[in-house]
Amino acid sequence: MELTYRPRRLRRTPALRAMVREFQLDPTDFIYPLFVHEGASNEPIEAMPGCQRWSLEGLVEEVGRAWDLGIRCVVLFPKVADGLKTEDGAECFNEGGLIPRAIRRLKQEHPAMAIMTDVALDPYSCDGHDGIVNSEGVVLNDETVAQLCRQAVAQARAGADLIGPSDMMDGRVGAIREALDEEGFEHIGIISYTAKYASAYYGPFREALDSAPRPVGNKPIPKDKATYQMDPANGREALTEALLDEQEGADILMVKPGLAYLDIIHRLREESELPIAAYNVSGEYAMVKAAAQRGWIDERAVVLETLLCFKRAGADLILTYHACDAARWLSER
């Protein structure tokens, strides 16, 4: 065959393939999500094999392990006791609460580790929604944003490095930026859940935190979060959300879920110069774990390929429960 160009020439050896490889994974790409609870011991999460609800002591140990593997950022999610959950989620800004105490402890033990927090009411709400639900079953926007601002300030005061509003209320990024600045936290960044979809992939996460919508008494509670999270059918809307978040002061934009929304990651990468994060969510994680446990897939190969595809789509950062395993596998290459 008379061929001018043969692409296989550069695939012939491992060395040649490495020379022309377009994207690389590194442990510093990962943000490691961690669940924390008030218990004295760690609790395995049945729907997420390998994940735990960490005690404060266990959390300190696990963050140390992550640091040793090269991971440089963790994000914290609280399992809040039912007795602390209220309609207005006021426990979220209790400076003696679980997350502020966890941040302070981690900063004492691992001061160089970057700590990201989650800003939303669902772990603290007896209704299981990211916002305040009124007596008519409507999730209130502006009243919720006021609570989120107080939550963000409490987290920053405890020592958080990045504030992550995941609630999808309109205007919350700008309001949180203003609240942080007014309290002297101009240096604290906002990693906004810019395009967070009303997805079916969140089930294991909600089990881990017991944060799914739930009826309370006679008050009507929306069964899903479709009035504030994005419709999975929409792509252009993500660009609108990204533009608004940039204008309001976001430092990093996030797409959640990640794997089923690679096109959205790519579209945001094309439109924005800000760093882009992808959330490799609990349902994606659980499916890989379930298939690997049955011997249907090679877990290591599938995980590393999945994480690489986020980078190829345009993500700079990846929130993933596979973080420690992936970091270890990368070191073994």
Q: Known catalytic residues? A: 196, 256
DSSP at 160: -
Q: Output the DSSP codes for 54-117.
A: E-HHHHHHHHHHHHHTT--EEEEEE---GGG-BTT-GGGG-TTSHHHHHHHHHHHH-TTSEEEE
Residue 315: CA count within 13 A, CB half-sphere:
31
Angle (deg, nearest 10), helices 98-109 and 56-68: 40
Handedness of CA 209, 45, 115, 259 (dihedral sign): negative
Contacts 24+ apart (CB under 8 A), 230-237: 230/168, 230/195, 230/196, 230/197, 230/198, 231/197, 231/198, 232/197, 232/198, 232/199, 232/260, 235/263, 235/264, 235/267, 237/195
Strand, helix or coil at 230? Answer: strand
Indicate the Cα dihedral angle 50, 52, 56, 60, nearest 10°.
20
Q: Which two tokens stand for residue 103?
A: 């941040």
For residues 32 and 318, give the distance between their C-alpha atoms in angstroms, rounded to a whole number: 8
For residues 234 and 253, give the distance between their C-alpha atoms in angstroms, rounded to a whole number: 17
Peptide bond into 257 cis (omega under 30): yes
